[in-house]
Structure 1
Amino acid sequence: MTARREWPLWEVFIRSRDGLNHKHAGSLHAPDAEMAIQNARDLYTRRSEGVSIWVVKSEDIVASEPSAKGELFDPAGDKVYRHPTFYSVPDGVENL
């Protein structure tokens, strides 16, 4: 059996109730996805607070750099048609 420190790191996401989003609960080491789910269940849902578990290898997660915020998100600022205020609500449609 491979030593634990050589097992891949998995990120754990838990959905606490139906209709809610999965939220990052933490990380753990496990040899494979099945064991990662079992360990995540034991570690992060001990009081039956979850209805769904996702595990993702940490090495497979790709994220933007905070320093790239401007180039990623600023271009959307000049596209006012993407904002719901650009459209008028037709008669008979409920405005939530």
Structure 2
Amino acid sequence: MSAETQTPATRGEWPLYEVFVRGKRGLNHVHVGSLHAADDQMAIHHARDVYTRRNEGVSLWVVRSSSITASSPDEKDPMFAPSGDKVYRHPTFYDIPDDVPHM
């Protein structure tokens, strides 16, 4: 097979995926690691095999790393400082009923 007819998967250039697992007792998905896979379905199957071997998860998310956009830790102050002067965003102004779970 020539280099022109090879796909990224046949050349061993599978994309990198980030894996998130929601545990049985957890409310949120938590980043547990990364893996390479040829496509989304393979990524789900590999994530299941690698990160939930002991039945510790109830839900998986796999996301191509190239699709994630993140802020830089160096931008922490300019990115998050503006919320400090908006006191209405703090939960101290709201009454939360006793029957509301997980707050």
Q: TM-score, normalised by structure 2?
A: 0.77
Matches within 5 A, 1:2-81: 2-4=10-12, 6-17=13-24, 20-81=27-88
Contact 1:17 1:50 survives alignment (8 Å): yes
- Judge conservation of contact 1:15–1:53 (CA < 8 Å) in 2: yes
Instruction: State TM-score, norm by structure 1.
Output: 0.83
Code of the aligned partner of 1:74: A
The gaps in structure 1 that reach 5 residues or longer are none
Equivalenced residues, count: 90
Shift of 1:3: 3.3
Residues 27-86 of structure 1 deviation map (CA, whole Å, 9 limit, x = unaligned): 00000000000001011111111111100000111000111111111111111122233x
Higher helix proportion:
1
